[in-house]
Amino acid sequence: MRRCEQRVSYRLESVIEHWHLSATSSWHGAQHRIGLTGGIASGKSSVAHYLQELGIVVLDADRYAHEALKAGSQASEAVLNRYGREVEVEPDYDIEQSAGQRSINRRELGRIVFNNQEERRWLEQIIHPMVRARFEHELAKHPKTATVVLMIPLLFEADLTELVSEIWVVHCLPEQQLERLKQRDSLSTAEAKARINAQWPMSRKCEQADLLLDNCSASIRWERQIQARLALINPHSA
């Protein structure tokens, strides 16, 4: 536990007692929008699930990006036209495919874009505007919701900080991140490192945070952090 605290330096007590909103976030509307981010496989989904259990609306950028590449979509066709059969799924193995539609082998697409920065940027130029537009669409469905969480793994990389009021970063040790990613996605060490290196370093994300959620050990640690912060955001709902 202590080694984790030493590797990622922060003062939770100071954050709670002397709260300031990050200069990085720039949404100043009446609705409080929390940008939930962190490194890949750092534990964002666990935090999001906990927030949903508390009754908080969570909007998921990964879901929107996944849906943007569904079979038959414009983005999917653009990808297939660029890479051809290299990333096309055989019809017998594609649960998404319907008659006349081609779909993407996402693992093969990942192999390409996580090993070639130019190709990754090409894909992001297609997907990121679609994700932004989807957020705007989904947020419009919750005009009277006091607090909404936007889970955006590439919050900084995609320049989406203007959508949020404050930023929460989930962090863990680098070796934990690597092992979790390898196990979760059945990746080799090299494949996992390529995905990690495609994002901002964890330390850089932590520097931009309003709240650092410690996922180096038991979840009770970050659950308490969240409870304390939500009590400040919504003092009358406790």
Give the DSSP H/E element, type plus range, for residue 75: helix 74-83
Beta bridge partners of 213: 170
Give the span between the Cα atoms of 238 and 232, in whole angstroms: 10
DSSP tag of 84? G
Q: List pLDDT tens digits, range 74-83.
A: 999 999 999 9
What's the pTM value of the predicted model, to 2 decimals?
Answer: 0.85
Q: Point out which residues pair with 211 in neighbouring strands.
A: 168
How many CB atoms neighbour CB 160 within 10 A?
Answer: 19
* Domains identified in the chain and CATH numbers: 2-233 (3.40.50.300)
Task: State how far the Cα of 21 lies from the Cα of 186, in Å rounded to an integer.
Answer: 38
Confidence at residue 21, expressed as pLDDT on a 0 to 100 scale: 52
> How would you write the pLDDT of the chain (238 residues) with one tens digit per residue?
444 444 444 433 433 333 445 556 678 889 999 999 999 999 999 999 999 999 999 999 999 999 999 999 999 999 999 999 999 998 664 455 555 688 999 999 999 999 999 999 999 999 999 999 999 999 999 999 999 999 999 999 999 999 999 999 999 999 999 999 999 999 999 999 999 999 999 999 999 999 999 999 889 999 999 999 999 998 766 5
What is the reported pLDDT for 92?
A: 60
Tell me if 182 sits within 8 A of 174, measured CB to CB: no
Q: What are phi and psi of 221, to 5 degrees?
A: -65, -55
3-state secondary structure of 226: helix
